[in-house]
């Protein structure tokens, strides 16, 4: 009974417009009002962003490269990408997240001494299923956790259809330890655990990519005490 129709998405959207927005804005920010667990997740997530940027820059300059950041959150990746000269299309299902990302982009993407200003990302409120167009690269960090496996295949196929050259994805790996932590979380659901977390095995993600003609070229694992992510780069076969 994992499948709950379209309800999951509405719940996720509502969460990230309200309590989830407050919680994650804090975690993704740099203020001191975080607890030990939140601080640990902040560090883990920052590593994912850093490694994704490294993967993106490995192929050369990002100047003029079109990037779709699906589920952009507060802009943790979109903003540094714009600084690198990428032409970023940033979207999120949560209007609150998009507004925050836009606010931070305006603060952080300012003209440098020589007068050159980075191109602002284009921000839109949209669930990733409704995205269209073609981008050199599509990135989707820490969003798959909101998708049961039955929905993940379609989501991955859709993201791949938007990408010309590569797709960078991160997800919480289905390992025994993390599974265990998640179960503990479900046994004691606190007010901040309003949504379900879905873990994915690398084999399942790989299978979903292969079905649409894509293959994993690079992968990495990011872990801190409370944060776990597989980061993969996929390319057409």
Under rule CB under 6 A, residue 142 binds ligand SAM: yes
Q: For ligand SAM, which residue of 51, 62, 73, 230 counts as binding (CB under 6 A)? A: 73
Q: Does 16 bind ligand SAM (CB under 6 A)?
A: yes
- Which one of 34-42, 58-66, 86-94, 203-211 is the stretch in contact with ligand SAM (CB under 6 A)? 86-94
What are the angstrom distances between the C-alpha of 98 and each of 79, 80, 231?
12, 16, 23
71 part of the interface to ligand SAM, by CB under 6 A: yes
Position 127 contacts ligand SAM (CB under 6 A): yes
Among 65, 81, 141, 208, binds ligand SAM (CB under 6 A): 141
State the Cα–Cα distance between residues 156 and 18, nearest whole angstrom. Answer: 26
Q: Which among 33, 23, 44 is positioned nearest to 225, based on CA atoms? A: 44
Q: CB within 8 A of 56, min separation 6: which ones?
A: 62, 67, 81, 84, 86, 137, 139, 168
Minimum CB distance to ligand SAM, residue 61 (Å): 23
Which residue among 143, 163, 169, 229 contacts ligand SAM (CB under 6 A)?
Answer: 143
Classify each residue of 122-145 as buried b or exposed e, where b means 16 or more C-beta atoms within 10 Å of its C-beta. ebeeebbeebeeebbbbbbbbbbb
CB of 97 to ligand SAM, least distance (A): 4
CB nearer ligand SAM, residue 120 or residue 125: 125
Closest residue to ligand SAM in the complex (CB):
73
Question: By CB under 6 A, is residue 100 in contact with ligand SAM?
Answer: no
Binding-site ranges for ligand SAM (CB under 6 A): 9, 12, 16, 24, 28, 71-73, 76, 92-94, 97, 127-128, 141-143, 146
């Amino acid at each position: 009974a994992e499948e709950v129709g379209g309800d999951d998405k509405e719940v996720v959207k509502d969460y990230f417009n309200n309590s989830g927005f407050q919680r994650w804005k804090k975690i993704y920010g740099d203020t001191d009002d975080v607890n030990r667990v939140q601080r640990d997740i902040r560090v883990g997530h920052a590593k994912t962003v850093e490694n994704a940027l490294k993967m993106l820059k490995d192929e050369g300059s990002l100047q003029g490269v079109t990037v779709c950041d699906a589920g952009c959150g507060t802009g943790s990746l979109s903003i540094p990408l714009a600084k690198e000269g990428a032409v970023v299309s940033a979207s999120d299902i949560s209007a609150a997240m998009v507004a925050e990302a836009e606010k931070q982009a305006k603060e952080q993407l300012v003209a440098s001494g020589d007068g050159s200003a980075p191109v602002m990302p284009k921000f839109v409120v949209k669930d990733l299923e409704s995205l269209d167009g073609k981008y050199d690269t599509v990135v989707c960090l820490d969003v798959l956790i909101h998708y049961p496996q039955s929905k993940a295949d379609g989501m991955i196929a859709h993201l791949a259809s938007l990408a010309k050259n590569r797709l960078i994805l991160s997800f919480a790996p289905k390992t025994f330890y993390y599974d265990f932590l998640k179960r503990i979380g479900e046994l004691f659901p606190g007010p901040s655990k309003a949504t379900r977390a879905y873990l994915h095995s690398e084999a399942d993600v790989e299978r979903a990519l292969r079905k649409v003609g894509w293959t994993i070229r690079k992968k990495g694992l990011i872990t801190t005490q409370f944060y776990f992510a597989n980061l993969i780069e996929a390319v057409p076969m």
